[in-house]
Each structure stands twice: as C-alpha cells, then as structure tokens.
Amino acid sequence: MPLPPPPNLLVFRAIRAIDPAVALDATVDVVIESGTITRIAPDASSSVLRADNAIVIEGRGLWLLPGLVEIHAHLREPGFEHKEDIATGLAAAAAGGYAHLCAMPNTSPVCDTPEAILRMLDRARSLGGPRLHPIAAVTSGLAGTDLTDLRALRDAGAVAFSDDGRCVMSGELLRRALLAARELDAPLIQHAEDHTMTVGTVMHEGAVSRRLGVRGWPREAEDGIVARDLEIAASTGGHYHLAHASTRGSVRLIRCALERGVSVTAEATPHHLLLTDAQVATSGALARVNPPLREGEDVEALRAALQDGTVSCVATDHAPHASEEKARGLLDAPAGMMGLELCLPLMMRLVEAGALRLERLIDALTVAPSRVIGIAAPSIRVGVRADLCLYDPQECWSAGRAGLRSKSRNTPFLDDTLRGRVRMCIADGVICFELAS
C-alpha cells in the first residue's frame, strides 16, 4: 500500500543539522510543512510548536543529514524474489537512511527493455518510500554481444547503463556504448573483470588463498580492464563509472585519468574499505564477494582515494542471497553481501578512526552519487522537498538481533556491535521509516 501523505507540520527541534554541500553544521530547528523544508534556524520552531498538527522530534544528541543516495543495489525482482524483492529492498534502503536507490539490471528477465523499466517504476511508485532509479543493461540479456536500445531505455527512465556482474569484454561494444551514453548524458557503469583470468576463482589471489588451497583472482583481472576502458573513455568523451573499485592499481589508473581530464568516476563499497581477504579464512562464504576482498595495501589505497575524492562515491553493492545459498560453502556459494541497512554505521568507523572526514563521507553518500546519475542531490535547504536521514551517532546495536527489513542476512558484520543507527528516513517529504522507540 502507498505510504500516507506527509504530515502537515514536522519539526526537528534543536538538532545538529549537517550538510556540507551548503556549509551547514549547526544546532538548529528544521521545520517541514507539507513535505517541504520551510525554515532552518535556531528557534525557528517557536511559532509552530503549539500547532495541533505538529509532530515534534527533539534533536538532543541526534544528527539530521541529507537523505542518502545508493547507486548500486540488487533488488532481485523479477526472478529471484526468494533473495529480495522491490518492497523489501526499498524498506531496507529506508532503514539505512536512503531516499534514492538505483537497481541493477541482472534480474530474470534482464532489465533490458523499456517495458521492464516501466514495470519497475510502477511497482516502486505503488509502494512509496525511497525513489527507485533503474539501471538498464548495456547488452541484451547481459550476453555481451548486442547493444540494447539505450535511447529507448533512457526515455523510459533508466539513469545509467551497466551489465553489472558481467564485464563488457568487447572493446568495440564498449566504445559504441560510451558514444551512445554520451549523447544521452548518462554514465556507463563497468564491472571491471577479465573473465578469462577469473574462471574458478572464489577470492583474491594471495597468501590467504594459497593457505586455503583455493584458486585466487589476481588484481590484474581488474586493472587490465580499467586501463583499457579509460583509454576508450578518453577517446569517446563518455562518462565511465567504475563499479566497486577494489585494487590499488585501479585507484592509480583513475587518479591518472582524472588528471588527464577523462570523464571518470568510481565507487567503493564498505566491505572493500573495511575488510581484507583474511576475512575469508574466518567468515567463509559470507566474505565471498565479487570483486573479492583484497589485501591491506588495497584497502589503504581505497581509503586514501575516498578521502581525496579520486573515488567519489560509497555504494553498498547490496547483493542479498538466501541463507541456504550461502550455506553451500566458499566454493559453491554465490558471491555477494547485503549492506543497505549497515552502510552508514560501518562507514562511520572510518570517521571515528580519523581515516575519513565526516563531510567527505556525507558527500560520498549524497552529492557525489547524485551527480553520477544526474539527479538533484538531497539537501537541507529551505524550499526543497525533504529527503532526510535522522541518525543517532551513539546508539549501539547488532544487526543480527535488530529485525532487519531485508530478506537477507549474508554479511560477516551481522553479529558485530555497530555504533550509530538510522532512526528515521524521509523521502520526497514523507516519513518512510521510523525506528520504534
């Protein structure tokens, strides 16, 4: 069922509002009327607190942030609803503080036609909550042979194009796709993997894979594709976005390309920023992801690149799987990790450790991903529709005991004690998630 209409009057009183995009970090009152932010100032609520229809939220100890923007998630519908569906995926996004979410096209059937785009958008609109932005396939059926009708997909509502877990291996196809996407002012999102180098691999190639006796996935399988792709992006002028960067080599290549003026952006996931391949030895299949967790030097390179903006976005690559699928063990389980509900508190670990500035993290979760897909970034400004995330930076909780909205539990962070929790999410002026007291 659709969510109820926005309250006529919602007041966050004496709250720390943080929005680096407008140089805001202050304790203020934020007044929202009929879904639109109307006042931001100390004591701005004094004239409305006695209104009968006012919902007042005391802000002591809480933060008000712009609503988060996710540009890489798998909602699994249609075809794999036992893992996740649009309803549970959007509910999980709301519980994670996301006002916008991009859905990847590797569904069954693949999201490679305008009709598939429109069905997804209609389904999301019927549910309410975070706004869904479909990402359409680059090639028909993700087969890597024939380009989809990118213009028709864009006209139907696609914000970007990607073959997601399958690399566009043909350089000529990639060149044509980047040229077409440039004309449509849309990014091409590449999963950089030379599949000829990764057959039968389940984790990073290194000391841990050798100790476990399993075939490893070398860095060069990513780096070689990124190097080739950046040359094609430079020649075409198309916007190339690297999904889930995982290697120090990718970071170096992107940094050089940016210095040359190539239109390139990149994202990193919380798990690639926080974990190394050593996690596979303790968590097994729960730590099997694609691309794999790398070594400490890769993690440090990604963190530095996120801090200086070479990697502009944080994206979860939310990849839900059923428990019985992950229970098959490291060699046979599907790759992927859920993450929508855990991202913000996990990324705050880097802020608390001094490895990432808070304002850079907020930018990487709001403005930067919005810029990639070409939407207006959520912001705490007078006159805009409210896309907001209410966050308690001190609350400690465990995902495994919290009653997650996602159908999935496939993460090695499940039993961690997390510090910081989303308490409310507002999308397009409507409260779409509120944590019970």
Q: How many angstroms separate the CA atoms of 142 and 359, rounded?
A: 37
Residue 290: CATH number of its domain: 3.20.20.140
**Final residue belonging to a domain, choices 348, 373, 398:** 373
**Which listed residue (29, 164, 317, 363) is catalytic?**
317
How confident is the model over 156-180, as pLDDT tens digits? 999 999 999 999 999 999 999 999 9
Q: What is the pTM of this model?
A: 0.97
Rounded to whole angstroms, the Cα distance separating 332 from 285 reads: 8
**Continuous H helices in 129-170:** 150-156
Q: How far apart are CA 42 and CA 28, in angstroms?
A: 4
**Quick one: 284 and 397 in the same domain?**
no
Lookup: tokens for 433: 């998630």
Q: Which two tokens stand for residue 200?
A: 């039968």
Mean pLDDT of 336-354: 98
In the listed set 349, 373, 397, which residue is the last one of a domain according to the structure?
373
Is residue 307 a part of any domain in this protein?
yes
- CATH code, domain with 397: 2.30.40.10
pLDDT in tens, 66-123: 999 999 999 999 999 999 999 999 999 999 999 999 999 999 999 999 999 999 999 9
Q: Among the three residues 373, 405, 421, which one is the final residue of a domain in this structure?
A: 373
Print the domain residue range for 35.
Answer: 9-64+382-434
Structure tokens at 374: 């070409």
28 close to 17: Cβ distance less than 8 angstroms: yes
Give the pair of three-digit tokens for residue 11. 């007041």
Share of the chain above pLDDT 70, in %: 97
**pLDDT tens digits for 85-100?**
999 999 999 999 999 9
Q: How many CB atoms lie within 10 A of CB 287?
A: 24
Judgement on whether residues 313 and 357 belong to the same structural domain of the protein: yes
Same domain? 286 vs 275: yes
pLDDT at 358: 98
Q: Are residues 429 and 305 in the same domain?
A: no
Mean pLDDT of 350-366: 98
User: Do 208 and 328 lie in a common domain?
Assistant: yes
Number of domains in the chain: 2
Q: Which positions ≥6 away from 308 have C-beta within 8 Å?
A: none
- Given a cut of 90, whether residue 54 has pLDDT beyond it is no
Give the gyration radius of the chain's Cα atoms.
21
Q: Is residue 167 part of a domain?
A: yes
Span 364-415, pLDDT tens digits: 999 999 999 999 999 999 999 999 999 999 999 999 988 899 999 999 999 9
Say whether pLDDT at 181 is over 60.
yes
pLDDT of residue 1: 43
**Least confident interval from 50-59, 126-135, 336-345:** 50-59
Nearest C-alpha neighbor of 63 from the set 353, 365, 354 = 365
317 is catalytic: yes
Q: Where would I find the beta strands (DSSP E) of 331-416?
A: 388-398
Give the span between the Cα atoms of 58 and 45, in whole angstroms: 11
Residue type, 38: T
Is pLDDT above 70 for 49?
no
Using omega within 30 degrees of 0 as the cis cutoff, is the peptide bond preceding 78 cis? yes
- Give residue 52's pLDDT: 63
Q: What tens digit of pLDDT does each residue of 29-46 get?
A: 999 999 999 999 998 777
Whether 2 is in a domain gets the answer no
pLDDT in the model for residue 4: 56
Does 348 lie in the same domain as 218? yes
Beta-strand ranges (E) seen in 20-173 are: 24-33, 36-41, 54-58, 63-66, 68-73, 98-103, 131-136, 160-162
Handedness of CA 170, 175, 178, 184 (dihedral sign): negative
28 and 126 assigned to the same domain: no
Residue 4, domain member (yes or no): no
| pLDDT value of position 155 | 98
Give all strands (DSSP E) within 87-227, no chain letters.
Answer: 98-103, 131-136, 160-162, 188-190, 203-204, 216-217
The pLDDT of 222-228, averaged and rounded, is 98
Q: Looking at the structure, tell me whether residues 316 and 430 fall in a common domain.
A: no
Q: What is the pLDDT of residue 437?
A: 72
